Amino acid sequence: MEWIKIQTPIDDETISSLKKGDLCLISGRIITARDKAHERIEDFLKEGKALPFDLKGELIYYVGPTPPKEGMVIGSAGPTTSSRMDPFSEIMLSLGIKAMMGKGRRDETTKKLLVKYKAIYFATFGGAGAYLSKRIKSSRIIAFDDLGPEAVYELLVDDFPAVVAIDSKGDDIYEVKF
Amino acid sequence: MRIIHTDIIKREAKRLIYDCSFFVPPEIKEIYSMMLTEEDAPLARQSLSIILENGEIASREEIPLCQDCGSVIFFLEIGQDVHIEGSSLYDALNEAVACAYQKHYLRKSIVSDPLRRVNTGTNTPSFIHIDIVDGDKISLHVLLKGGGSENASALRMFRPTDSIDSIISFIEEVIVKAGPNPCPPIFLGIGIGGTADVAMVNSKKALLRPIDAPHCDPFYAELEERIKVTLNKTGVGPLGFGGKNTVAAVFIKEAPTHIASLPVALNLNCHSFRKGGIVI
């Protein structure tokens, strides 16, 4: 299989060129968030408070890693089930994110929003947290550290493997003959 | 009567948690290697290669197989001629969990309340099922269960007159709907019969059988095979990217039931099937 090298922040031209099923190696900065972080971002917006970080142009990775051993950058760090973040798709995309990454299907609303905002959804390899951790070169908490494994991390990744699961036209790899 | 100290149970529980968090048993590696030879689709092959390599890295570098280190579910069969000495058995098991999760840098994923959701920080409490059996031994099994696959669990109360085909269709529907979410190829536990609660517990207990041991009743052994073949025709494939291997193994545990009832419960386990057991 041919791998497509991608650098974050992902530019619009790259986003529109990627098609469902494309296998990518992502390098650069990515931001983590899962259930609780999404909920808190929503709360910040409802309360009219400014977020402690800027999400414009970012790739959001749905992960709650294991704690690192001494001398390691991060522990096991594979994707969690993305559909739990579906209710937050509009908020996150309106804040300017350009890509999401996790595992599994998304709902119809998210698919339409990806088209509207010209964004992309990557699936990476579920249950391969040890393998994927080797592609993470640095990690630091940038917000919500009280959430433990659900805190928001900035990760620098190198050749992080992912599949284009929903492209910016709304074509979905999981929507097959089942 | 035989005396067993809770310190021994605690020690073995810690060891089992450690083993299944970092090591893939050879029989499971063999399943994925075999699947790799059967798959043609590039993404199915890629997924299986990564699953195999993940196991190598996890054991070599002591990085947990999955970042979701699971709920800890214990199944104990305690011989009625055993006298347990030491602390409370429940405390001993939970101390084993807290200690193992801290010591081995495993993720703590348990919240103390389902609605108020504060992380306990220790991965306790564990979920403990105890049966009293004949004899003077304790069998201790542990299952580490990730949230993604547990969320795909299902229960349907069938009519007693419903056909086996309709049960298979239900199972197929659940597996296809779950698709990529439970991280296939899955190990499927099926509880048939009993009451609703018994069927659900049996869908987990079914998984405790050794991976390469067929069901002792040929009727159910054949049904397991039939279900496996049906599910592997769905095309869900490794990690849901499409392919020939959706299910690695099917385990049924049946139970007597009411004349009006036919419960069927499903418990899906991800490809990272983390279980272990010992007889003390």
**Cβ atoms B280, B140 nearer than 8 A:** yes
Q: What is the mean pLDDT of chain B?
A: 97
Which of B51, B146, B240 is nearest residue A104 as measured by Cβ atoms?
A: B240
- Cβ-based contacts of A102 with chain B (< 8 Å): none
Distance from CA of A144 to the nearest CA of B (A): 14
- Cβ-based contacts of A104 with chain B (< 8 Å): 148, 179-181, 240
What CA–CA distance (Å, rounded) separates A111 from B203? 34
Q: Is A27 on the interface with B (CB under 8 A)?
A: no
Query: B267 CB contacts (<8 Å, ≥6 apart)?
Result: B150, B153, B188, B189, B190, B191, B200, B203, B204, B206, B207
**Angle in degrees, 0-180, between the axes of helices B26-38 and B42-61, rounded to the nearest 10:** 160
**Closest residue of B to A70, CA-based?**
B105
The tens digit of pLDDT for each residue in B211-254 reads 989 999 999 999 999 999 999 999 999 999 999 999 999 999 99
In this predicted complex, what is the ipTM? 0.94
Which of A125, A148, A161 is nearest residue B119 as measured by Cβ atoms?
A: A148
> Where are chain B's structural domains?
2-24+65-145, 147-273
Q: Is A35 on the interface with B (CB under 8 A)?
A: no
Q: Do B51 and A128 touch (CB under 8 A)?
A: yes
- Side-chain-facing half-sphere of B127: CA atoms under 13 Å: 13
Q: Do A123 and B51 touch (CB under 8 A)?
A: no
For residue A1, pLDDT over 80 is answered with no
Q: Do B148 and A66 touch (CB under 8 A)?
A: no
Domain B147-273 part of CATH 3.30.1330: yes
Q: CB atoms < 10 A from the CB of B73, how many?
A: 19
Q: Do B57 and A125 touch (CB under 8 A)?
A: no
Evaluate the omega torsion of the peptide bond into residue B125 and state whether it is cis, within 30 degrees of 0: yes
What CA–CA distance (Å, rounded) separates B175 from B179? 6
**Cβ atoms B206, B269 nearer than 8 A:** no
H/E run at residue B76:
strand B71-79
Q: What does the block give as tokens for B186?
A: 């899955």
Q: Do A126 and B121 touch (CB under 8 A)?
A: no
What CA–CA distance (Å, rounded) separates B116 from A42? 18
According to DSSP, the β-strands at B138-145 and B82-85 are: unpaired
Which of B53, B69, B272 is nearest residue A66 as measured by Cβ atoms?
A: B69
What CA–CA distance (Å, rounded) separates B150 from A81? 12
The tens digit of pLDDT for each residue in B99-144 reads 999 999 999 999 999 999 999 999 999 999 999 999 999 999 999 9
Site from B22, B39, B54 to mutate, A interface, most A CB atoms within 10 angstroms = B54
What CA–CA distance (Å, rounded) separates B271 from B35? 12
A38 among known catalytic residues: yes
> Where are chain A's structural domains?
4-166
Distance from CA of B183 to the nearest CA of A (A): 6
The tens digit of pLDDT for each residue in A54-103 reads 999 999 999 999 999 999 999 999 999 999 999 999 999 999 999 999 99
Query: B261 CB contacts (<8 Å, ≥6 apart)?
Result: B157, B160, B193, B195
**Cβ atoms A62, A100 nearer than 8 A:** yes
Q: Do B54 and A127 touch (CB under 8 A)?
A: yes
The tens digit of pLDDT for each residue in B254-275 reads 999 999 999 999 999 999 999 9
**Residue written as token pair 């996790």:** A102
Q: What is the mean pLDDT of chain A?
A: 95
Among B191, B165, B186, B162, smallest CA distance to B175 is for B186
DSSP B171-237: HHHHHHHHTTTT-SSEEEEEEEEE-HHHHHHHHHHGGGS-TTPPPSSHHHHHHHHHHHHHHTTS---
What CA–CA distance (Å, rounded) separates B60 from B268? 27
Q: Which fold has domain A4-166?
A: fumarase (3.20.130)
Which of A21, A149, A163 is nearest residue B107 as measured by Cβ atoms?
A: A149
**Residue written as token pair 């579910």:** B73
DSSP A92-141: HHHTT--EEEEBS---HHHHHHHHHTT-EEEE--TT-HHHHHTTEEEEEE
Query: Pick the catalytic residue: A20, A38, A40, A98?
Result: A38
Give the N- to C-terminal CA distance of chain A in Å, as an integer.
24
For residue B161, pLDDT over 70 is answered with yes
* Residue B250, burial from CB neighbour count under 10 angstroms (0-12, 13-18, 19+): buried
Instruction: Please tell me the CATH code under which domain B2-24+65-145 is placed.
Output: 3.30.360
Q: Is A46 on the interface with B (CB under 8 A)?
A: no
Neighbour-count burial for A131-165, b at 16+ CB within 10 Å, e otherwise: bbbbbbeebeeebbeebbbbbbbbbbbeebbbbbb
Q: Do A127 and B272 touch (CB under 8 A)?
A: yes
Q: Do B66 and A176 touch (CB under 8 A)?
A: no
Mean pLDDT of the B172-198 span: 97
